[in-house]
C-alpha cells in the first residue's frame, strides 16, 4: 500500500447519478510510491462515513478535516482549445472585444508598444454585432494604425480574421488570390479585399500568426494557463482540434509531454486531433499514452471533425433558411459534404475510434446523428471515448430524443447562451430559437451532457459556467432577468454533474474520473460555498480553496 491520507467534510458532493445533495463523508486517497510517471495517479481507496473510512485505514493515517467546506469532483472543461487559450491569455496577444472598431484599434496600438519590434500584432475577441455602431470592420483602420507592421485580429467566435494590408501581403493574399474550399475573402463594392477572411480561409492562416514565438514561450504560456485553471478548480480538459486542415489542429502533444516529463503538468489533458483519412497520428498517441506505466495525465480518446460554422455569420447549416436571410435560400452550408463526413466517421468507427463533431445548425446536427446511427449499426460503440456532438445550438424537435437513443453525448458551453443577445431570434425566428441549449429537456430525456467553455471563445471561468447553466443569464450583465428560455434552467446538482461526470463521459473516462467513488482517480476541489444550497447571486462569489489532481494539491488559496 502506498502513502494514504484522509479527507473529510460535512458537505461532500460525489456527483454520482441520483445523489443530488452533499453529505458528511470521508475518503481515503492512496498515493503510489516509487512508480514511474506517478504524478496524478493517486486514487480513492475508500469513501463513506468518516468513522468507517478512518477505521479502514492504518492507525495514524493523517486526516485533513475541511469542516463544512464544500468538496466535489474537479471540474472538467469538455471543450476548449488550449493552445490559443494559453497564448491568447499571455502577454503576446491582446484579448479585447472593443466597444467599436475605433476603440479596439486605439487599444491595439497601445498594446503593440509592449511587443518586440519583430512581433505580429495579434488580438482576439472582436464581435462587430456588439459594437456601437454594429458595422463590420475593414483593413482601412488597421492600415492607418499599422502601415508597416502585420496586424491580425481574430473574431470572438474564432471563425473570422480581420487583417491589415501588411498582414495580407505577408500571408501571400492578393487581389487575384482564391480562398480554399469552405473559405471566403470578403470584397467591397469595387471588388477589393476588405481584409476580412472567413471560415476555412481564416483557419488555414491562423498557424502563421504566431510563428515568431519560441517553444519556450509556448511552454511558459501553457504553464501559466494551467495555474490559472487550477485556481478555478479545473482538473481536466478536452483539448479540441481548432480546425480541420492537416497540420492546423493546434493539438500540441509535444508541449504537454515536455511539461509532464518535468512534473509540471497540473491537469489531465485529453487530446482530440482532427479526423483525417490517415488515422495514424491518433493511434500513435493512444499507443504511447495507453502503454503500461504511462502517465495518467495525458490521453488521446478520439477525433474531432467539423460539419458547419456559426449562426451569427450564417455559416451554421440549417434545414430551412435563416429568418433574416441575406439571399434566397440562405441556410448556411456544410464544411464538408454529408457523404464525405460519413466516409470519415465510418472509417474511424471501423477502427474503434470515437468522433466529436462541431455541429451548430439543426441541419448539421440531424445529418451527424444519421451518420452516428449508421456507424453504431455497422461497428458498435467506440473502444475508447464517446461519440459526441459539440455546441448543438439549435435542434429539430425529433433529434432531442435521438441523442439519448444513440448514446451520443451533447457537449455544450453554457456561456455561449448569452454571447449574442437577441441573435437567435434575429437569425432563427421565435419558433426555432425556443429549442436552443435545452439543458432541462436533455436531462428529462436522459441525454448525457458535458459542459465546457470553448475557450478562448468564452473565458475559462468555472463559476461562470455553473452560474449561466442554472440561471441562463449572462455572467457579466446578469441579463435577461429571469433567464433566457428559463424553462431550460437546471438545478445546480445537475450542472455540477454535467461539468464533472458528464465531461468525463465525453472523454471516455467515466470509469475513473468525474465522481468521487472508490477506485477512481482522486481529482477534487474544495470550495468556500455549498453550491447546491447558495443563492444564484452567490455562485460567482464562490472561491476555490484547494484543487487536487490525483491526490496532489496543485492549488491552495
What local confidence, expressed as pLDDT, does residue 34 receive? 64
**Separation between Cα atoms, residue 386 and residue 242, nearest integer Å:** 19
From the CB of residue 51, how many other CB atoms can be counted at a distance below 10 Å? 10
What's the chain's Rg over C-alpha atoms?
A: 23
Q: Find the distance separating the first CA and the last CA of the chain, reported in whole Å.
A: 30
**Separation between Cα atoms, residue 547 and residue 396, nearest integer Å:** 40
Nearest to 237 by CA among 82, 466, 39, 90: 82
Q: Kindly report the CA angle at 445 between 439 and 447, in degrees rounded to 5?
A: 65
**Separation between Cα atoms, residue 150 and residue 212, nearest integer Å:** 12
**Residue for grid cell 498582414:** 167
What local confidence, expressed as pLDDT, does residue 118 receive? 87
Which residues, 6+ apart, have CB-to-CB distance to 185 below 8 Å? 173, 177, 179, 193, 196, 197, 198, 201
**Separation between Cα atoms, residue 303 and residue 282, nearest integer Å:** 7
**Separation between Cα atoms, residue 410 and residue 400, nearest integer Å:** 10
Nearest to 451 by CA among 467, 435, 475: 467
What local confidence, expressed as pLDDT, does residue 156 receive? 83
Which residues, 6+ apart, have CB-to-CB distance to 451 below 8 Å? 77, 78, 411, 412, 413, 414, 465, 469, 495, 498, 499, 502, 503
Q: Which residues pair with 358 in a beta bridge?
A: 306, 390
What local confidence, expressed as pLDDT, does residue 269 receive? 98
**Separation between Cα atoms, residue 225 and residue 90, nearest integer Å:** 8
Pairing label, strands 544-549, 302-306: unpaired
User: Between the CA atoms of 149, 114, 157 and 159, what dihedral angle is there, to the nearest 10 degrees?
Assistant: 30
Nearest to 408 by CA among 335, 492, 302, 512: 302
**Beta strands across the sheet bearing 268-272:** 75-80, 234-240, 268-272, 298-299
What local confidence, expressed as pLDDT, does residue 69 receive? 98
Q: CB–CB of 298/304 below 8 Å?
A: no
Read off the C-alpha cell for 138. 475593414
Helix (H) or strand (E) holding 546: strand 544-549
What local confidence, expressed as pLDDT, does residue 515 receive? 98
Per-residue pLDDT of the chain (557 residues; tens, 9 = 90+): 569 999 999 999 999 999 999 999 999 999 987 654 567 899 999 999 999 999 999 999 999 999 999 999 999 999 999 999 999 899 999 989 999 999 999 999 999 999 998 899 999 899 998 899 999 999 999 999 999 999 999 998 878 999 999 999 999 999 999 998 878 999 999 999 999 999 888 888 888 898 889 999 999 999 999 999 999 999 999 999 987 777 779 999 999 999 999 999 999 999 999 999 999 999 999 999 999 989 999 999 999 999 999 998 899 999 999 999 999 999 999 999 999 999 999 999 999 999 999 999 999 999 999 999 999 999 999 999 999 999 999 999 999 999 999 999 999 999 999 999 999 999 999 999 999 999 999 999 999 999 999 999 899 999 999 999 999 999 999 999 999 999 999 999 999 999 999 999 999 999 999 999 999 999 999 999 999 999 999 999 999 999 999 999 999 99
Stated pTM of the model: 0.91
Q: CB–CB of 275/306 below 8 Å?
A: no
Domains of the chain: 3-74+523-529+538-556 (2.30.40.10), 77-82+216-513 (3.20.20.140), 93-210 (3.10.310.70)
**Separation between Cα atoms, residue 68 and residue 322, nearest integer Å:** 51
Q: CB–CB of 162/195 below 8 Å?
A: yes
**Separation between Cα atoms, residue 165 and residue 148, nearest integer Å:** 9
**Separation between Cα atoms, residue 492 and residue 151, nearest integer Å:** 43
Nearest to 319 by CA among 390, 273, 367: 367
Helix (H) or strand (E) holding 266: none
Q: Which residues pair with 47 in a beta bridge?
A: 27
Q: Strand (E) positions, 199-278?
A: 234-240, 268-272
Task: Give yes or no for a cis peptide into 475 (omega within 30° of 0).
Answer: no
What local confidence, expressed as pLDDT, does residue 38 receive? 60
pLDDT in tens, 118-144: 899 999 899 998 899 999 999 999 999
Amino acid at each position: 500500500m502506498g502513502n494514504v491520507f484522509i479527507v473529510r467534510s460535512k458537505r461532500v458532493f460525489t456527483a454520482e447519478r441520483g445523489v443530488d445533495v452533499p453529505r458528511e463523508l470521508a475518503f481515503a486517497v492512496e498515493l503510489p510510491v516509487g512508480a514511474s510517471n506517478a504524478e496524478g495517479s493517486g486514487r480513492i481507496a475508500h469513501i463513506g462515513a468518516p468513522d468507517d473510512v478512518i477505521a479502514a485505514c492504518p492507525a495514524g493515517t493523517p486526516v485533513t478535516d475541511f469542516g463544512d467546506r464544500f468538496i466535489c469532483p474537479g471540474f472538467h472543461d469538455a471543450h476548449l482549445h488550449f493552445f490559443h487559450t494559453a497564448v491568447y491569455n499571455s502577454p503576446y496577444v491582446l484579448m479585447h472585444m472593443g466597444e467599436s472598431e475605433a476603440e479596439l484599434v486605439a487599444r491595439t496600438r497601445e498594446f503593440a508598444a509592449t511587443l518586440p519590434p519583430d512581433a505580429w500584432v495579434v488580438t482576439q475577441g472582436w464581435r462587430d454585432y456588439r459594437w456601437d455602431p454594429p458595422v463590420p470592420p475593414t483593413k482601412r483602420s488597421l492600415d492607418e494604425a499599422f502601415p508597416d507592421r502585420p496586424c491580425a485580429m481574430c473574431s470572438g467566435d474564432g471563425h473570422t480574421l480581420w487583417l491589415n494590408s501588411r498582414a495580407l501581403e505577408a500571408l501571400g493574399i492578393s487581389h487575384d488570390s482564391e480562398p480554399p474550399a469552405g473559405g471566403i475573402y470578403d470584397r467591397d463594392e469595387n471588388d477589393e479585399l476588405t481584409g476580412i477572411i472567413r471560415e476555412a480561409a481564416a483557419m488555414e492562416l491562423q498557424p502563421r500568426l504566431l510563428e515568431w514565438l519560441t517553444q519556450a514561450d509556448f511552454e511558459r504560456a501553457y504553464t501559466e494557463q494551467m495555474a490559472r485553471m487550477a485556481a478555478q478548480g479545473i482538473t481536466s480538459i478536452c483539448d479540441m482540434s481548432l480546425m480541420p486542415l492537416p497540420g492546423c489542429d493546434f493539438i500540441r502533444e509535444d508541449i504537454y509531454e515536455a511539461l509532464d516529463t518535468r512534473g509540471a503538468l497540473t491537469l489531465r489533458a485529453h487530446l482530440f486531433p482532427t479526423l483525417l483519412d490517415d488515422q495514424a497520428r491518433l493511434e500513435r498517441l493512444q499507443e504511447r499514452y495507453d502503454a503500461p506505466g504511462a502517465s495518467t495525465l495525458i490521453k488521446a480518446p478520439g477525433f474531432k471533425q467539423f460539419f458547419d460554422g456559426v449562426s451569427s455569420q450564417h455559416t451554421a447549416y440549417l434545414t430551412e433558411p435563416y429568418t433574416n436571410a441575406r439571399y434566397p435560400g440562405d441556410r448556411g452550408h456544410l464544411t464538408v459534404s454529408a457523404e464525405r463526413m460519413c466516409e470519415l466517421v465510418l472509417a474511424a468507427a471501423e477502427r474503434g475510434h470515437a468522433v466529436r463533431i462541431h455541429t451548430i445548425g439543426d441541419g448539421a446536427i440531424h445529418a451527424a446523428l444519421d451518420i452516428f446511427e449508421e456507424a453504431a449499426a455497422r461497428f458498435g460503440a467506440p473502444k475508447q471515448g464517446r461519440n459526441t456532438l459539440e455546441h448543438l445550438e439549435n435542434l429539430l424537435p425529433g433529434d432531442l430524443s435521438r441523442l439519448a437513443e444513440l448514446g451520443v453525448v451533447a457537449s455544450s458551453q453554457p456561456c455561449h447562451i448569452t454571447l449574442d443577445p437577441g441573435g437567435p431570434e434575429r437569425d432563427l425566428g421565435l419558433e426555432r430559437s425556443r429549442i436552443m441549449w435545452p439543458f432541462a429537456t436533455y436531462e428529462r430525456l436522459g441525454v448525457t451532457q458535458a459542459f465546457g467553455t470553448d475557450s478562448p471563445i468564452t473565458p475559462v471561468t468555472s463559476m461562470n459556467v455553473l452560474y449561466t447553466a442554472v440561471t441562463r443569464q449572462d455572467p457579466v450583465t446578469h441579463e435577461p432577468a429571469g433567464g433566457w428560455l428559463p424553462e431550460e434552467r437546471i438545478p445546480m446538482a445537475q450542472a455540477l454533474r454535467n461539468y464533472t461526470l458528464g465531461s468525463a463521459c465525453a472523454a471516455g473516462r467515466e470509469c475513473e474520473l468525474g465522481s468521487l467513488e472508490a477506485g477512481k482517480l482522486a481529482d477534487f476541489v474544495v470550495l468556500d460555498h455549498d453550491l447546491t444550497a447558495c443563492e444564484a447571486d452567490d455562485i460567482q462569489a464562490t472561491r476555490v480553496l484547494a484543487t487536487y489532481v490525483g491526490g496532489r494539491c496543485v492549488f491552495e488559496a
